[in-house]
């Protein structure tokens, strides 16, 4: 397993002190299971490395927005990074604070801007000139000044999957590096905006530090130019994107990663600025798994299939960009293993969760899809009118239901048929 919170005891997989078999029996499947200990350790890896430095951690809500998960981070003093008013509402409901929340995203509406500004959000990460004008008008209508940071696109290759690369010229995100200095001048001239920072986000599932250092170097050169134009940049937002181990990846240690970036910024003569980190996947990815039940074992001419009750609507990553997740049995059997594709019941050929896996299993057995804590439940859907999974957090020897399983009747409760 990828995290010590998930381990075998006498051949049965456990999350902390609770067996996966008992979780399936109590809560049913498919079931998302999170470890509070794993969440806590991942957050402290960032927070401890930031201690005594001018640095702050803002949890990327888009990776996992369950209220209980966010509350675990809020209790430890985390800030948050949001990309919608819905995520903002979740942060507040989970005990987070507006003044410790950064509002990112390429398409904020005027209504979202107004709501966040009225609540006292920490900063808006702005991504275009039209967005600057819109935010200035909203702030003017409220008689306020909106704190802004431009998300600059540094055109750095993060060496990751193209669907999760965000810092290239061809991506929709950020202000083009060549236009950034002039865009800052426009922002500075708008009476209801206050320029406070600069930021970037170059991608996700990044397993090397060098792309971050390349991006930071470009940002700091730009900072020096901007300040020579009469503005003050108080913080540098280095974004998130640090990868995790799904298979054989070897991402840097979180503490080493944070220290390397902070030291690099200080050596460049910018240690007076606060540095924002916005981790998501590296906090929650290996703190969660998806528990599923084998309905049928189906032999075929070219492939054998293990048909499970989880599907692409529960975990979209494999179908979306052929992402790899380790898949292990809950109970280790002393039997011959066979090669299976792990597939779900959704009516799509793309409904697969794992391919060519050697497993010793029987119908009715339980499987665990590892490293599913990030972009798992948050990207799930009701395709094929399938109710979404329940979510559980294990804390020591206790398991708490933190999201009830949907019922089918809920899925069309807001619909109506035509009158006669």
Residue 267 and residue 206 in one domain: yes
Residues 331 and 266 in one domain: no
Q: 15 phi and psi, to 5 degrees?
A: -105, 115
Q: What are the tens digits of pLDDT across the range 107-134?
A: 999 999 999 999 999 999 999 999 999 9
Domain assignment of residue 216, given as a range? 105-277
Question: For residue 161, what pLDDT is reported?
Answer: 44
Same domain, 214 and 234: yes
Strands 193-199 and 235-237: parallel
- Residue 153 and residue 262 in one domain: yes
Picking from 405, 368, 373, the residue whose alpha carbon sits closest to that of residue 18 is: 368
Mean pLDDT of the chain: 95
Beta bridge partners of 103: 82, 124
Residue 189 sits in the same domain as residue 169 = yes
270-312: pLDDT as tens digits: 999 999 999 999 999 999 999 999 999 999 889 999 999 999 9
Share of the chain above pLDDT 70, in %: 95
Give the residue from 277, 301, 317 where a domain finishes.
277
Residue 86 located in a structural domain = no
Helical axes 129-142 vs 110-119, angle rounded to 10°: 50
Q: Which active-site residues does the annotation give? A: 347
Q: Do 372 and 310 fall within a single domain?
A: yes
The CA-CA-CA angle for residues 409, 412, 416, to 5°, reads 125
What tens digit of pLDDT does each residue of 233-278 get? Answer: 999 999 999 999 999 999 999 999 999 999 999 999 999 999 999 9
Average pLDDT value for residue range 153-160: 72
Do the beta carbons of residue 291 and residue 29 sit within 8 Å?
Answer: yes
Q: What average pLDDT does range 318-333 have in this prediction? A: 96
pLDDT confidence of residue 172: 61
Residue where a domain terminates, one of 218, 244, 277: 277
* CA–CA separation, 139 and 137 (whole Å): 5
pTM of the predicted model as reported, rounded to 2 decimal places = 0.95
Are residues 147 and 253 located together in one domain of the fold? yes
Token look-up 């888009």 returns 62
Residues 326 and 374 in one domain: yes
Q: Which CATH number covers residue 389?
A: 2.40.37.10
Query: In terms of DSSP H, where are the helices of 65-152?
Result: 67-75, 85-93, 110-119, 129-142
In angstroms, the CA 292 to CA 248 distance is 23
With bands split at pLDDT 50, 70 and 90, how would you rate the model's confidence at 156?
Answer: confident
Give per-residue pLDDT as tens, 39-84: 999 999 999 999 999 999 999 999 999 999 999 999 999 999 999 9
In a domain, 233, yes or no: yes
Most distant CA pair in the chain, distance: 74
* 172-220: pLDDT as tens digits: 678 999 999 999 999 999 999 999 999 999 988 999 999 999 999 999 9
pLDDT digits (tens, 9 = 90+) for 340-398: 999 999 999 999 999 999 999 999 999 999 999 999 999 999 999 999 999 999 999 99
Distances from the Cα of 228 to the Cα of 43, 221, 224, 225, angstroms: 37, 11, 6, 5
Instruction: Write the Ramachandran bin of 203: left for phi over 0, alpha for psi from -120 to 50, otherwise beta.
Output: left
Q: Among 219, 242, 277, which residue terminates a domain?
A: 277
Whose CA is closest to 160, among 45, 323, 309? 323
**Residues marked as binding?**
241, 278-281, 317, 321, 348, 375
| Rounded CA separation 60/57 (Å) | 9
CATH number of the domain that 130 lies in?
Answer: 3.20.20.10
Q: Let me know whether 115 and 180 are in one domain.
A: yes
Residue 54 lies in a domain: no
Binding site for substrate: what residues are annotated?
Answer: 281, 317, 321, 348, 375
* In a shared domain, residues 290 and 272: no
pLDDT of residue 155: 81
Q: For residue 123, give the H/E element and its range.
A: strand 123-126
Question: With 60 as the cut, is the pLDDT of residue 165 above it?
Answer: no
Number of folded domains that form the chain: 2
Mean pLDDT computed over 316-320:
96
Residues tagged in the binding site annotation for pyridoxal 5'-phosphate: 241, 278-281, 375
Kindly provide the residue ranges of all beta strands, DSSP E only, lying in 146-228, ordered along the sequence. Answer: 146-153, 175-176, 193-199
Reading the block at residue 55, the tokens are 């640095």
Domain annotation covers residue 270: yes
Q: Are residues 199 and 174 in the same domain?
A: yes
């Amino acid at each position: 397993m990828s995290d010590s919170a998930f381990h075998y005891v006498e051949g049965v997989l456990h999350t902390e002190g609770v067996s996966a078999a008992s979780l399936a029996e109590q809560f049913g499947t498919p079931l998302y299971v999170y470890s509070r200990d794993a969440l806590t350790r991942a957050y402290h890896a960032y927070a401890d490395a930031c201690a005594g430095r001018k640095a702050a951690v803002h949890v990327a809500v888009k990776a996992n927005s369950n209220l209980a998960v966010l509350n675990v981070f809020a209790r430890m003093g985390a800030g948050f990074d949001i990309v919608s008013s819905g995520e903002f509402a979740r942060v507040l409901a989970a005990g987070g604070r507006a003044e410790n929340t950064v509002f990112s995203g390429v398409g904020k509406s005027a209504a979202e801007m107004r709501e966040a500004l009225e609540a006292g959000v920490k900063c808006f990460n702005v991504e275009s000139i039209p967005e600057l004008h819109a935010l200035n008008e909203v702030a003017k209508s409220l008689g306020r000044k909106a704190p802004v940071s431009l998300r600059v696109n540094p055109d750095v290759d993060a060496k990751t999957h193209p669907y999760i690369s965000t810092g290239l010229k061809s991506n929709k995100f950020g202000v083009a590096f060549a236009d950034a200095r002039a865009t800052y001048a426009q922002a500075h001239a708008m009476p209801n905006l206050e320029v406070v920072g600069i930021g970037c986000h170059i991608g996700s599932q990044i397993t090397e530090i060098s792309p971050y250092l390349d991006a930071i170097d470009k940002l700091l050169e730009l900072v020096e130019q901007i300040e020579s134009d009469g503005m003050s940049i108080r913080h540098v937002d280095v974004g998130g994107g640090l990868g995790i181990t799904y298979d054989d990846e070897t991402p840097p240690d979180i503490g080493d990663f944070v220290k390397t970036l902070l030291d690099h910024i200080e050596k460049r003569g910018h240690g007076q600025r606060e540095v924002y980190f916005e981790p998501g996947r590296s906090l929650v990815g290996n703190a969660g798994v998806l528990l599923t039940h084998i309905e049928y074992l189906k032999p075929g001419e070219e492939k054998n299939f293990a048909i499970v009750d989880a599907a692409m609507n529960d975990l979209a990553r494999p179908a979306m960009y052929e992402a790899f997740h380790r898949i292990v049995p809950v109970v280790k059997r002393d039997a011959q293993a066979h090669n299976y594709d792990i597939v779900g019941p959704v009516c799509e050929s793309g409904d697969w969760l794992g391919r060519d896996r050697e497993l010793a299993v029987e119908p009715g057995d339980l499987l665990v899809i590892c490293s599913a804590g990030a972009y798992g439940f948050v990207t799930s859907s009701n395709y094929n009118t399938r109710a979404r999974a329940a979510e559980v957090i294990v804390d020591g020897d206790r398991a708490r239901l933190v999201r009830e399983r949907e019922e089918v009747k809920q899925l069309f409760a807001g619909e109506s048929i035509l009158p006669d």
